[in-house]
Chain A
């Protein structure tokens, strides 16, 4: 298992626990106050912690590890694109986790969410660009 896959999978495990912790907070409805703050946690944040934080990180990590080799010299393609995918996805999700409750409280004008969207898009493109040539016969 290459180092980047370990980062993806360990991050996935952390997001998984955090996602289901937010699920407890949201047991009463589609939004919940975050204890000790003036912010509200919305249902979409919970969904994205599960689908992006857990599922997508795990899929990216396992795909980077197990897809057919690119070349003998660079079996997993570009490490730089792999790390860009990791940072984009996870930094973007972290900004969403912070930015969405702040946006709901009316304290910010969405800059964090725009940055979050851009980073996640960048991460997804980096993953696709690196993975596409590896979708082939072994």
Chain B
């Protein structure tokens, strides 16, 4: 998508390519950078001395699912001109993902071995 958008500055590409910008921005910022940092943080934060050592898996899987559904709804929704409720639903899913992730990660922000 980024290549296509950049290409429009140098070559006569169809006008619909410009509509990809919203999906491009959502996918790069939330789908790529935010998701990568969430995954790495979940991996490296101090573990619990008991099992499951990274805490319950359900909230983090919920965060993963909500984040990716959110990126699709908000990014694709805006790019194809879907009703505003679609974009709002996508952004709400992303917010719920952040809440689930923060709630699961917060107790692991601690000194090792505690």
Contacts and interface: CB of A to CB of B under 8 A. Distances in A.
Given A1-B46, A6-B109, A20 B94 contact: yes
Interface stretch (A9-17, A70-78, A125-133): A9-17
B72 interface: no
Given A1-B46, A9-B109, A13-B106, A27 B34 contact: no
B91 A23 contact: yes
A17 B37 contact: no
A136 B68 CA distance: 37
A51 B33 CA distance: 9
Interface stretch (A54-62, A94-102, A106-114, A116-124): A54-62
A28 interface: yes
A17 B29 contact: no
Contact of A17 (B95, B109, B110): B95
A24 interface: yes
A51 B84 CA distance: 25
A21 interface: yes
A50 interface: yes
20 contacts: A6-B110, A9-B41, A9-B109, A14-B102, A16-B101, A17-B95, A17-B98, A20-B94, A20-B95, A20-B97, A23-B91, A23-B94, A24-B88, A24-B91, A27-B87, A27-B90, A28-B87, A51-B29, A54-B37, A62-B44
Interface of B: 29, 33-34, 37, 41, 44-46, 74, 84, 87-88, 90-92, 94-95, 97-99, 101-102, 105-106, 109-112
